[in-house]
Amino acid sequence: MSKCTAAEAVKAMEYYIGYYEKATSAYASSRDKSVFSLNKGSNNYTYMGYFTGCQAQPWCAATVTTAIYDACGSKADAKSVMYGVYPYLNCAQVWDAAPNNKKFYGHHQRWSLGKGYRKEYYPEPGDIIVFTDNGSSRSHTGMVYAVDKTYVYTIEGNSGNMCRKRSYKLTDSYIYGWIRPDYAESSDVPATPIEQYGAAIAGTYHVLSKGCAGGEVKTIQTLLNKYISANLDTDGIFGNATKAAVVEFQKKFWTNPDGICGAKTWAKLLNGGE
């Protein structure tokens, strides 16, 4: 196996959405979706705890560990992605282990909102997000699956006794910061993109439109440059130029282009522009 990509980590994390922690150890050793809603409780018995060896303990970080392991397929690769931390069980661990240029503080230290968009200040899909109750402690964690200029969208274990999607304004003081794991590089698009990314476009990629940012936007820009010579900066920012290029690309196939990169547009881009 090898280190996973950010997209693979998000997909693995999405698998656990809807998982309820258990009242007892019953069903807590299974990851099958048929047991997700059985034996609901609030005693921190979970598959994630069983898998990581921290049963009956808070399990938000254990969910991130489990998902990254699922995506990578090995302890060694998951550990490498998380900067030498395995299993990740305490919300502060990966933050403390990550290099300074791979961790980003929340709005109180880094935001430039109102002063012009700076993509390096924004979380990206696959980032490990860390929350705080008082501005200094690290009390909860999850994974980013999407972001726009107003909100960050997350998947979190141990959120109301289950694994669920959440969203926060980027200015929310609950956000301590986020870490960019050392994923396998995926921004260099291969000559035949469909061979790498596969056909399950809608299950892996997100609907992207103006205002979005991150690695998936870089992929769109790279492919548009390749197939229609769009001459875009591959900066991961879905702005006016990227929207115009998406519209131009869509005109090749549809009569009502909308400039939004959904499942059908992804499929055409990843299938070599055909």
Helices and strands (H, E) in the chain, number of each type = 11, 6
Give me the residues paired with residue 20 across strands. Answer: 162
Domains of the chain, start order: 6-179 (2.30.30.30), 193-270 (1.10.101.10)
d(CA 155, CA 80): 22
Residue 44 contacts residue 56 (beta carbons within 8 Å): yes
* Token pair of 4 as six digits: 């996973």
d(CA 120, CA 241): 19
Give me the residues paired with residue 151 across strands. Answer: 169
Within its chain, how far is the Cα of 72 from the centroid?
Answer: 14
Of the candidate ranges 121-135, 212-226, 237-251, the one whose mean pLDDT is the lowest: 212-226
Q: In the predicted model, is pLDDT for residue 152 greater than 80?
A: yes
Opening angle at CA 47, ends 44 and 52, nearest 5: 90
For residue 186, give the nearest of 119, 234, 229 by alpha carbon: 234
Residue 257 contacts residue 247 (beta carbons within 8 Å): yes
Specify the DSSP class assigned to residue 171. T
d(CA 6, CA 124): 9
Specify the DSSP class assigned to residue 19. P
The tens digit of pLDDT for each residue in 9-53 reads: 998 999 999 999 999 999 999 999 999 999 999 999 999 999 999
pTM over 0.85: no
Q: In the predicted model, is pLDDT for residue 164 greater than 50?
A: yes
For residue 163, give the nearest of 28, 43, 51, 36 by alpha carbon: 36
Within its chain, how far is the Cα of 115 from the centroid?
Answer: 26
Specify the DSSP class assigned to residue 179. E
Instruction: Give mean pLDDT, residues 125-130.
Output: 94
E-strand spans in 79-137? 103-105, 128-131
* Token pair of 257 as six digits: 């282009």
- Label residues 125-160 b or e (16+ Cβ within 10 Å = b): bbbbbbbbeeeeebbbbbbbbbbbeeebbbbbbbbe
The tens digit of pLDDT for each residue in 180-233 reads: 999 987 544 443 343 343 333 334 567 788 877 777 788 888 888 888 888 898
Residue 241 contacts residue 123 (beta carbons within 8 Å): no
Opening angle at CA 153, ends 16 and 63, nearest 5: 30
The tens digit of pLDDT for each residue in 72-116 reads: 999 999 999 999 999 999 999 999 999 988 988 886 444 444 444
Query: Which amino acid, one-letter code, is at 21?
Result: E
More confident residue, 52 or 274: 52
d(CA 162, CA 245): 40
Within its chain, how far is the Cα of 137 from the centroid?
Answer: 23
